[in-house]
Structure 1
Amino acid sequence: MAKRIIEADDIIASIADALQFVSYYHPEDFVLALKRAWTVETHAPARHALLQILINSKLSASNHRPVCQDTGVVHVFVRAGMDVCIIQSGRAVTPSFQTLANRAVAQAYRYAGNPLRASMVRDPLGSRTNTQDNSPAVVHIEWVEGDTLSLTVAAKGGGGDVKARYAMLNPSDSVADWIISQIPTMGAGWCPPGVLGVGVGGSPEQAMLMAKQSLFSPIDIHQLQEQGAQDAAQALRLDLFNRINALGIGAQGLGGDTTVLDVKVKHAPSHAAMLPVAIIPNCAATRFISFELDGNGPATLSPPNPDIWSGIPQALPAQHGRQVNLDTLTRQQVAQWRTGETLLLSGKLLTARDAAHKRMAESLRLGSPLPINLHNRSMYYVGPVDPIPGEAVGPAGPTTSTRMDKFLPQLLEETGLLVTIGKAERSQPAIEALRHAGAAYLIAVGGAAYLISQTVKSARIVAYEDLGMEAIYEFTVHDMPVVVAIDTQGSTLHKVIPIQVQA
């Protein structure tokens, strides 16, 4: 049988193009499912959050800027026919999909027209130095009969993967009951609503891989509801979809009708004594695309039909909320805020994430001065995308706040920090620390990063520049919309079970 010849450079170009494509285009079925959830949502805070995500999706598509500041860890799933021959510069080469994928990632993430955030760190047990170009990719290769080369390229955000769960159940245990027990403990850091992937059977590592791969199939739960389950896997999907949404976690954990847009299940044969189960969610930054290469050049990727965003405005409706001047903010003013209240922030806003918090905590432990004064300041948990001409900052949505919880009591007590801003719930110790300090916690909508960045009028790095996207910035914002999630009395907004975070 004749070999199918495919140029290595076409593989690199196709993966790089796909990474740019998925950074700003949601899959059509995902947008339509979000619109359906927004249309039927009866809980006002969740409905408003869904609208922000939809507007963000529309703006990102039209401006070719990322839907989320976390532009993801790159996964490349390769299904290669044994009769495919990869050549480079006319010479047959041993296929090194890892090398090709890494080159594509570096090319895509450094593209000047739409730079993407580099989030990967090397040496996870050591210095955790950023690789600067988001390589390496995570590559999965499956060799099959034939002469086709099929690829699925995904950019998986940390907010979803960090909520992955795995268990080895007894064969007599209920898979559905175990999954339902896990959903509240995941919190809202994965930016619901999204799709939940489930892997059942196989070996432990197979279950995790199946859970992730199940996410790359079309959203079709409503068709399944109409036709009814035809097998055990479909019955599990329907059961989980109904039970998870009945929990009332809702969009961004704010309560409401839709926590999952769909539930996907993949399964494989397993040992008679084993029942491995894994779950992984896709967040509001659902980014993946599949394509084939046939030897006639790079893949052609078709943009979504713009009609999918029909009925979605170009901007948020006129905001009604308490105007807050961050530059003159006092503890007395913060004490007047109440949980669930909308605020519109203007003025100077500091940013900090994990690495900056760790560094500040070490300085405080050693009695060294911090590089910035935090007294009566407000801090936003974000690692933004680099800007392009005309932008003060690239997409700048919130990161999950619980990761900063172990540092919060010390910062509140020793620096006079007054307000923190992020996404999702906080742990009980963090809630108590906020109440004790008379401080407040606000939330921005995860999945609305590009929309939020439009409120940032200027940005400059003020500390820890060597940390890259984790450096401390000072933003100047105007009417940045947030909601009071925890007020100075310790009253909390979220409908999920607060997570206990180890110090």
Structure 2
Amino acid sequence: VKTVPTMGAGWCPPGMLGIGIGGTAEKAMLLAKESLMDPIDIHELRVRGPKNRAEELRLEIFDAVNDLGIGAQGLGGLTTVLDVKIMDYPTHAANKPVAMIPNCAATRHTHFMLDGSGPSLQTPPSLDDWPDITWDVGPSAKRVNLDDVTRDEISTWQPGETLLLSGKMLTGRDAAHKRIQTLIENGEPLPDGVDFTDRFIYYVGPVDPVREEVVGPAGPTTATRMDKFTEMMLDKTGLMGMIGKAERGSVGIEAIKKHKAVYLMAVGGAAYLVSKAIINAKVIAFEEMGMEAIQEFEVKDMPVTVAVDVNGNAVHKTGPQEWQKIILQRKSA
């Protein structure tokens, strides 16, 4: 319960927590991983009641973590974990290692047995087993044209606000940022076609396209990895905004506040769906780096959430705080 808030939103909650207790440190970690292979059954457990201390702990941790109000994508809400799994193993009384592994909202796996009799054939699930889902962002979503958005306009965006982005953006992750940093430190110009002035960068390393795809799965990268480059990018390149996954650290937020920039959060764990908003893509620099190259994406109605505004207000802090109050009120009612 103390550790989960320190993990941020990079693990794409709501998900599962796998906990291993006992053995050696390595064994505990293996147990935590193995526990995540079991199906979600926390609600069935609550109905029938726990039969041992491990099952009691599952329920206690499940309730305590959800009371944190972290919620989906770390934006605040009632559900942070869908289940808590625990496996244990004998250990010496003087050494009781505990390991925890989070599993993201997109967790999926299949079980099969290889017994030497032949291949294990997997039958694709029927799409009819899934409910029909319609995509509706609601009337409050604001459409933004990236090709003519201004700093005055971004100054009006509020934390938690939903935006639909259309227009062109540049991409880049750790490796591209490092190359840019080296060029700037050496007094060299950025490659032809790379101009971040009043533009947005999307932290992404897209998968290569297949068949008719414009681009392969293109989900956001955890933004905290770029915090150490944020001051440099905002100060030296004229960058206006960033798009990534999860929260920003204090270093990144301070740079955003200082330069009156913004940070937008795309949906983590939905890389294929995000790619459907990309209508054109081309490599413009560092092609030799493969998926780490800088590309220019043209998007249409790409959904994002304002995560850090120009004043440094971060929804990953305010959201859970608000939901903690709501949860407390519900418990006391």
Query: TM-score scaled to structure 1, two decimals?
Result: 0.61
Alpha-carbon RMSD across the aligned residues, in angstroms, is 1.7
Give distance in 2, aligned partners of 1:441 and 1:494: 12
Instruction: Give the Å deviation of 1:491.
Output: 1.1
The letter of the residue matching 2:35 is: S
Match of 2:12 among 191, 198, 214: 191
Q: In structure 1, what is the equivalent of residue 35 of structure 2?
A: 214
* 1:242-257 → structure 2 map (5 Å cutoff): 242-257=63-78
Q: Cα distance, 1:222 vs. partner?
A: 0.5
Write the letter of the residue equivalent to 1:221. Answer: I
Partner Cα separation in structure 2 for residue 317 and residue 487 of structure 1: 20
Contact 1:425 1:496 in 2 (8 A): no
Question: Which string of whole-angstrom CA distances, capped at 9 and with x for unpartnered residues, describes residues 18-75 of structure 1?
Answer: xxxxxxxxxxxxxxxxxxxxxxxxxxxxxxxxxxxxxxxxxxxxxxxxxxxxxxxxxx
Inter-CA distance 259–464: structure 2 relative to 1 (3 Å threshold): same
**Aligned residues between the structures:** 318
Give 1:489 shift: 1.1
SS of equivalent residue, structure 2 residue 315: coil
Task: Please say if residues 70 and 319 of structure 2, whose CA atoms lie closer than 8 Å, have aligned partners that are also in contact.
Answer: no
Q: In the TM superposition, what is the alpha-carbon distance from 1:301 to its structure 2 partner?
A: 1.1
Separation in 2, partners of 1:375, 1:469? 23
Runs of 4+ in structure 1 displaced over 6 angstroms?
none
Shift, 1:243, TM fit: 0.3
More moved, 383-392 vs 472-481 = 383-392
Shift of 1:482: 0.8
Q: Deviations over 1:397-444 (max 9, x none)?
A: 111100100110111111111010011111112111101101000011
Q: Which residue in the other structure is 2:181 paired with? A: 361
In structure 1, the residue matched to 2:51 is 230
Report how far residue 316 of structure 1 moved: 4.1
Structure 1: which 5+ residue stretches go unaligned?
A: 1-179, 499-503
- Taking the aligned partners of 2:61 and 2:34, their CA distance within structure 1 comes to 18
SS of the residue 1:216 aligns to: coil
Structure 1 residue 297 displacement after superposition? 2.2
Does structure 2 retain, via aligned residues, the 8 Å contact 1:397–1:447? yes
* Deviations, residues 351-372 of structure 1 (Å, cap 9, x unaligned): 1111111111122222221221
Cα distance between partner residues in 2 of 1:474 and 1:259: 34
Matched residue, 2:98:
277
**TM-aligned CA deviation for residue 308 of structure 1:** 3.8
Counterpart of 2:99, as a letter, is A
Counterpart Cα distance in 2 of 1:203 and 1:318: 51
Once residues 348 and 266 of structure 1 are traced to their aligned partners in structure 2, the CA distance between those partners, rounded to angstroms, is: 48
In structure 2, distance between residues paired with 1:280 and 1:220: 18
8 Å Cα contact 1:248/1:259 also seen in 2:
yes
Q: Which amino acid aligns with 1:395?
A: P
Q: Are the equivalent residues in 1 in contact too, given 2:106–2:270 (CA < 8 A)?
A: no
* From 215, 220, 226, the counterpart of 1:404: 226
CA contact (8 A) 1:185 1:496 kept: no
Runs of 5+ consecutive residues of structure 2 not aligned to the other structure: 321-333
Aligned equivalent of 1:342: 162
Identity %: 57
Matched, 1:297 2:118: yes
Q: Verify the 8 A CA contact 1:398 1:445 in the aligned structure 2.
A: yes
Match of 2:252 among 430, 441, 446: 430
The answer on whether the counterparts of 1:440 and 1:487 sit within 8 Å (CA) in structure 2 is yes
Cα distance change on mapping 1:495 and 1:224 into 2, 3 Å: farther
What SS does the aligned partner of 1:485 have? strand
Displacement of 1:379 in angstroms is 0.4
SS of match in other structure, 1:191: coil
CA–CA distance in 1 between the matches of 2:279 and 2:77? Answer: 33
**Could you give the per-residue CA deviations for residues 227-277 of structure 1, whole angstroms, max 9, x where no partner exists?**
111111111111110000000000000100111100011111112101211
TM-score (norm 2): 0.91
